[in-house]
Amino acid sequence: MKYLVPEYYKDFKCKNGECRHSCCDGWPIRISTKEYYHLLGIKCSDELRGRLDFALKICLEPSNGSYKQISTDWHGICMLHRDDGLCAIQAELGECCLPEVCQLYPRSTKNLGEIYNGSCSNSCEAVVELLLNYKKALLFEEKDLSIVPEFVIILSPIKYACCQKSISIIQDRSLTLPERFITLGNFLNGTDIGLEGPNDFSSAFQLLDVFDQYFESSSSIRDYSKVSQTYFGLEGKEKLSVEDLKTILEKYISASEHLEFILPDWQILFEQLIVNHMFYNNFPYTDNQEKVNDAFLSLITMYSFLRFNILGYMSDKAISENLVDYLAAMFRLIEHSNFKHIAFLLFKKDTYAVEDCVSQLLYL
């Protein structure tokens, strides 16, 4: 079966036990009813049986496709994850006995009606490492894959063309990243965002502080966010004063200069991450949603949320491994939780002038 895949897809290889952080860190894996009963009756060692008995628990809202989930410990680590970095099921019984999501990850395959898409999630550190070293605009090519589509999300030819056009706008390197987002917003829904950067970033900083507080309990990003919050002086503050905002801006400028120094091509990296994320989620029709403006707000919030926190976290670091670990952890939240829905809900709830805040977020 022919799939349209990113050009790097053929180069992806799982790092197995060599990963610094397991791909399932902070991400409770859900399995189907069929997979649960398969694991329940599978022949295995007493040690693995003990792990499985403790690891499998019923989902809060069980369904046939998401009946049970694999528990995590208090660090957010999968109960089946061994000290050597390998999965206990795979190590003893082989990959064929893994739940489907674990076999496929970080790959995702979709039947979109006219075409089949295959992609990889930014939540995998091996994928981020590939994108970090990929300097030209990300290309897509047809490839034969012996995989049944994981999802069926039928898009009309017009909608699929919109997905392709959206990606091409973000890949237009004749424009800065803010200008590309502005062009994208105008293409999708006629959003009128000024081309000149704003003088005041107070609304953007307030909103990003709200986001950090909302997601601070996430085991995926908790430790990274704490470092960022400490840098910007946000810890324990329910509301930011004028003096706080002034301090944040000064630190933001300093951290931006540091990022430019250690990663002169940061805009290229962000382009690759955003494009890969858009393709993975068939933006702007993520989850087959019709409200393209909500998808746009979620996308720019994701961009500014990543940039704001990466500046705080990397303010005293220069090692690419730190950068990769941070990005993979952030995308475990972004791509495997309800982040995109919460993003536009918080945006609309906590901003009084949406257009002004959009402009501020884009020019951060």
Return the DSSP state at 95.
G
Q: What is the pLDDT of residue 356?
A: 73
Residue 17's φ and ψ, nearest 5 degrees, are: -75, -5
Q: Which two tokens stand for residue 199?
A: 């003088």
Domains of the chain: which residue ranges?
A: 24-104, 107-152, 162-363
User: What is the per-residue pLDDT for 219?
Assistant: 79
Tell how many helices (H) and how many strands (E) occur in the chain: 15, 8
The pLDDT score that the predictor gives to residue 283 is 94
pLDDT of 260 reads: 95
pLDDT value at position 154? Answer: 86
Spatial neighbors of 154 by CB under 8 A, at least 6 apart, are: 111, 112, 113, 288
Q: Phi and psi of 65, rounded to 5°?
A: -80, -25
Pairing outcome for strands 29-31 and 68-70? antiparallel
* CA separation for the pair 187, 296 (Å, rounded): 11
Note the pLDDT of residue 342.
86
Which pLDDT belongs to residue 119?
94
Instruction: Convert 123-134 to b/e letters by CB count within 10 Å (16 or more is b).
Output: bbbbbbbbbbeb
How far is 323 from 313, CA to CA, in rounded Å? 9
- Residue 331: the pLDDT is 93
Cα dihedral 283, 284, 289, 293 sign: positive
Q: Which residues of the chain have pLDDT under 50?
A: none
